[in-house]
Amino acid sequence: MERQLEDLPMPKRRQDLIVEELGIKELMPAYLDPQLQAEDLKTGVSFASGACGYDPQTAAIASVLPLSTQLNYFHKYVGKLKGLVGEQEANHIVNNNLYLVVTGSNDLANTYFTIGFRQKQYDINSYTDLMVDGAADFIQELYKLGARKIGVFGIPPVGCLPFQRTLSGGISRLCVVEYNEAAQLANTKISAAINDTLSKKLP
């Protein structure tokens, strides 16, 4: 008996697990979901676009929404929220919401190492600096739009991703140490930018 795709259970994303654990709702809908309800604007939506990155070129390669477009949608969201609950309540919601930033792995795994586009322009130290600049710009723009509680997830060990082990891990499909070291370098720099610079710059 065949089952329709829409009947198959979908795996929950990180944001779904968080809102469910907090007792807010079972799933966090996408802002662009055509079935989005007004109530969802008050309890949280997702602006994420899979396969984007801190590097704008990463989104261009994957034909997905870059962080700049996601910020634009967030700006529109704030306007809609003000129209729905009034400016004072909207500001309260925006200021007290939790914002999760989860990106960067595709910058390294795809744009830099697999496709190699950026390797022609940057060594890994310079490229991770570019990623840090993108992360800092994004966080500052979020802050300007009212976000105050921003959590930035670290980049996982991309050298242990299955497709990276298949492509570059040899016959034994080992984790690629160079790629993992790049992720660690990016995490160290982004963490320093947040803790040493942005935390002092943004009150």
What pLDDT score was predicted for residue 26?
Answer: 76
| CB 9 within 8 Å of CB 1 | no
What pLDDT score was predicted for residue 7?
Answer: 54
176-197: b or e for each residue (b if 16 or more CB lie within 10 Å)?
beebbebbebbbebbeebbeee
11 CB-contact burial (10 Å; exposed 0-12 / middle 13-18 / buried 19+): exposed
What pLDDT score was predicted for residue 2?
Answer: 45
Q: What share of the chain is helix, strand, coil (3-state, %, to 5)?
A: 60, 5, 35
Assigned token pair, 105: 């792995």
What pLDDT score was predicted for residue 8?
Answer: 47
Instruction: Provide the 8-state DSSP code for 100.
Output: E
What pLDDT score was predicted for residue 13?
Answer: 67
Q: Which residues of the chain have pLDDT under 50?
A: 1-3, 5, 8
What pLDDT score was predicted for residue 49?
Answer: 93
What pLDDT score was predicted for residue 24?
Answer: 66
